[in-house]
Amino acid sequence: MEAVSAEEERAARLARAAVRRAIMTVEIVPLGEHKTSPYAHSTPDQRLAAAVRLIEHHQALRGTPSLLRRADWPGEKFVIGSGRG
């Protein structure tokens, strides 16, 4: 096993941090400031597609898809326009 110097370890950490910063998708908004939603002018279908992409990205990072079928997820089903008088 090859020994790694403290300087090499530090350089490797800085390189990994630079890669993370380059692909980071988080935006920091100061507390108390209002930020308009990036989806404010999108359709429900566009918002759903964005949510699906986010879920797929998360599953890829985990290395495995969700073990629960969508029908088994907790929550309620809403049918718009029915059951209201």
Give, for all 85 residues of the chain, the pLDDT tens digit. Answer: 678 899 999 999 999 989 888 887 777 788 888 888 878 889 888 888 888 888 888 888 888 777 777 777 767 666 676 665 5
Distances in Å between the Cα of 6 and the Cα atoms of 13, 27, 43 are 10, 32, 52
Extents of the domains making up the chain? 6-31+38-65
pTM: 0.39
